[in-house]
Chain A
């Protein structure tokens, strides 16, 4: 029968663009709260995706990582994905985003995608900025030349998004767009490309790709396509290579060089007469700022100031330190206490403490056995409190990072610190993961994806765990009271611990370079320096929200589970339920801790409770404190540490140890995912544990010797 029901179908839209043209902003503006991380089988990294409905059509938007090209070998993770995704999943529409203020450069991606598929909508972002700079773009003219819809938008101000969605539906439903991909004229190379095309005619393994596109890519020497072909039909690859070599010899050109140039020439001719600049932008503030930010001496100082003040602000909001310490040291004790009390961490921690007490009381009064009350209060509620008391820290760090990136400051920091980082075998890019690592190591390791150089990526991933994250800061803050008496000295200890860890980050990078790769020349910096923007709170909020949710899911579940597992270890023993906290020695945890006491004695910490706390810290570093709290029966972390009666030297040894020893479970999981070499991961683990124990031992025994 001919009665067709109109099926409500979902269309898939992929976003592709160069870095720095505002792709994430567009993605967030389109998908808002629905954004989440998704894995597509066969696509090497997870991508962000989200949903929206427009005119009753459900649209799934996939945010492909920003890249400069489509083809790349194993070295550039982000590059290959756009091509990989489009050929494998054939999205209904690919939206290519270009920067209206730099079309000459950013249209390149549009040409690459158009060569692969005709189902494209070209969005010209930052039309508002272009208008301000008196840049006029002939949109209809571009549309005519390219044969696909072109829409001027401002992702940030959400201008033109409705029109963009209309045009997306037009293309998805066949009312607009090209029926065939764009054919770039490669001039003298054309006969050779045709020859490759003919060779590929009988090649089933590349049938998924448009034949012309596959031929063009092979002519360019695309490593991933060549690899696919070498697996399927090595003979054919040989023939293709032969054509390529012949073209090179006969025309005396490097094909890929010639082809990139042909595309840029096409762009120039496309744009001829379509961009009008009616007045030149004055150099203005941005250039003056750059004269400082990129200056060889002023630049690094400026960068350090930016990073330092940013982090001071975040720490102050969340933990009260170092502002409370500064206030206390200049005599404002009361004000210092207030700052400490009303910091987010204390507020949330306090609320959950009260909630736990209330729950436990209610259960006991209702006649439930004691263990249920303890499980609920100490195992479940305090675990949730722990996760949530972290969230503001993580969130604000991400807001800050979002602002640093969005404003264009981060790139300048990387450029100005490059010379310094090179001494340690990495480029200025290594500053990004390091800075993010102060918030949480997990996203820091993910941030290494932006690195071009595979070696630098691995080395940095392995060094990042030396950067003390917020969790370690909290442990250190709880310990300093037992190390030094005056606030000024406490602050000095904290600064010392941070300096030590940052040095270890750099030294580890150096060591890993020498040991794993045995090379001495650092990778070269190659980086786009985006124009300054007034940071948008909206962009920072999106960035922080996505990353915090990710943290909540990944780390949150681990922290929660760890807390529960440790409750069990402390309350279950060979003789059943261990009620009394003081009797915890009879629990499973107590027995394991006692067994490891000789190891702890190496660093002056031969107390099974401390060892158990450190074991808990393997799972999540802040669990060091919660474990101590539940074992000493003192909920307040400072009190719990005090209850251990550590000497200042022991406390310092513990602080150094908990700052430096092996990364937490979540970090390890991400390193494994990114580095993909378990042997390397194990080496890193042994190395970091060794370094931490050696430092703690040196400090403890050295201190004992010095102090007699």
Chain B
């Protein structure tokens, strides 16, 4: 079952989702993709509270600010 496309920053800890789109400027989008976060990647949210998000993608743990996380559109699994 797959849900609506939402910003990654809205997902609760433990949620898994597929990245659908990165709505960021060229430099940032490229950087995220090179770090392995690109459309089609499966992400798992590890921590998401007040500070930056901590996610797992392609076997690597990344931390990204809420601003960045809200630009990554994902579809929850």
A-side residues, CB < 8 A to B, are 68-69, 73, 75-76, 101-102, 104-105, 108, 221, 254, 256-257, 260-261, 264, 290, 294-296, 299, 411, 414-416, 418-419, 427-428, 452, 521, 523-531
Please tell me if B12 contacts chain A, counting CB pairs below 8 Å. no
A-B interface pairs (CB < 8 A), number: 112
Q: List 18 A-B contacts (CB under 8 A).
A: A68-B31, A68-B34, A69-B31, A104-B36, A105-B58, A257-B33, A261-B33, A261-B40, A290-B54, A294-B46, A296-B51, A418-B63, A521-B67, A523-B65, A525-B68, A526-B63, A529-B61, A529-B62
Which residue of the partner chain B has the closest CB to A68?
Answer: B34
Q: Interface SS of chain B: helix, strand, loop or mixed?
A: mixed
Interchain nearest-CB distance for A279 vs B (Å): 16
Report the bound CA distance from A530 to B65 in whole Å. 17
In the bound complex, residues from chain B placing their C-beta under 8 Å from that of A415 are 51-52, 54, 63
If A105-B36, A264-B36 touch, whether A221 touches B31 (CB-CB below 8 Å) is: no
- For residue B5, CB closer than 8 A to chain A, the reply is no
Partner of B58, one of A102, A260, A411, A527: A102
Given contacts A105-B58, A264-B38, contact A427 B65 (CB under 8 A): yes
Judge whether A528 and B35 touch: CB under 8 Å.
Answer: yes
- A486–B41 Cα distance when bound, in Å, is 61
A260 near B38 with CB under 8 A, answer: yes
The residues of B that contact A104 with a CB separation of less than 8 Å are 36, 58-59
Closest residue of chain B to A261, judged by CB? B38
Q: Does B29 make an interface contact (CB < 8 A)? A: yes
Give Cα A525 to B68, complex, Å: 8
| Bound-state Cα–Cα, A290 to B56, Å | 13
The residue from B36, B50, B62, B68 contacting A419, defined by CB atoms under 8 A apart: B50
For the complex, give the distance between the alpha carbons of A256 and B41 in Å.
16
For residue A69, which residues in chain B have a CB less than 8 angstroms away from its CB?
30-31, 34
Beta-carbon nearest neighbor of A286 in chain B = B61
B36–chain A nearest beta-carbon distance, Å: 4
Residues B27 and A102 in contact, CB atoms below 8 Å apart = no
- Please state if A416 and B51 are interface contacts (CB–CB under 8 Å): yes
Q: Which residue of B lies closest to A112 (CB)?
A: B34
Whether B34 pairs with A260 at a CB distance below 8 angstroms is: yes
Contacts of A290 in B (CB 8 A): 46-47, 54
Interface centre among B26, B28, B50 (most CB of A within 10 A): B26
A68-B31, A260-B33, A419-B50 are known contacts. Are A221 and B26 too (CB-CB below 8 A)? Answer: yes
Residues of B within 8 A of A264 (CB): 36, 38, 41
Q: Which residues of A contact B51 (CB under 8 A)?
A: 296, 299, 415-416, 418-419
Residues of the A chain whose Cβ atoms lie less than 8 Å from the Cβ of B50: 296, 419
Residues of B within 8 A of A523 (CB): 65
Closest Cβ neighbor of B54 among chain A residues: A294
Roughly how many angstroms separate A525 CA and B66 CA in the complex, as a whole number? 8
Which residues in B have their C-beta under 8 angstroms from that of A527? 62-64
Closest to B21 in A: A257
Tell me the bound Cα distance from A415 to B46 in angstroms.
13
In contact, A68 and B35 (Cβ under 8 angstroms): yes
List the 5 shortest-distance A-B pairs measured between CB atoms, nearest first: A524-B65, A529-B61, A419-B51, A102-B59, A260-B33
Q: Is A108 a contact partner of B63 (Cβ separation < 8 A)? A: no
A428 to B54, CA, bound (A): 13
Complex formed: what's the CA distance from A196 to B72 in Å?
31
- Nearest CB on A from B59, distance (A): 4
Contact status A528-B54, CB under 8 Å: no
Asked if B47 contacts A257 (CB within 8 A), the reply is no
Q: How far is the CA of A69 from the CA of B30 in the complex (A)?
A: 9
State whether the Cβ of B32 lies closer than 8 Å to any Cβ in chain A. yes
How far is B49's CA from A294's CA once the two chains are assembled, in angstroms?
10
Are A257 and B38 in touch, CB under 8 angstroms? yes
Please tell me which one of the listed residues B27, B60, B63 contacts residue A525 in the complex, with CB atoms under 8 A apart: B63
Q: A104-B59, A256-B29, A257-B29 are in contact. List 5 more A-B contacts (CB 8 A).
A: A69-B31, A105-B35, A260-B38, A419-B52, A528-B60
Q: Contact between B62 and A528 (Cβ–Cβ < 8 Å)?
A: yes
The interface residues of chain A lying within 8 Å CB-to-CB of B40 are: 261
* Contacting residue for B65 out of A76, A260, A299, A525, CB 8 A: A525
Task: State whether A105 touches B38 (Cβ < 8 A).
Answer: no
In the complex, chain A residues whose CB is within 8 Å of the CB of B38: 257, 260-261, 264
Contacting residues, chain A, for B22 (C-beta < 8 A): 257
Minimum CB distance partner of A527 in chain B: B63
CA distance A254 to B28 in the complex (A): 14
Select the residue from A221, A260, A299, A418 with max chain B CB neighbours within 10 A. A260
Q: Whole-angstrom distance between the alpha carbons of A69 and B41 in the complex?
A: 18
Partner of A529, one of B39, B63, B68: B63
Cβ–Cβ < 8 Å partners of B33 in chain A:
256-257, 260-261
B residues in contact with A299, CB < 8 Å: 51
Within the complex, the shortest CB–CB distance from B23 to chain A, in Å, comes to 11
A260 to B27, Cβ gap below 8 A?
A: no
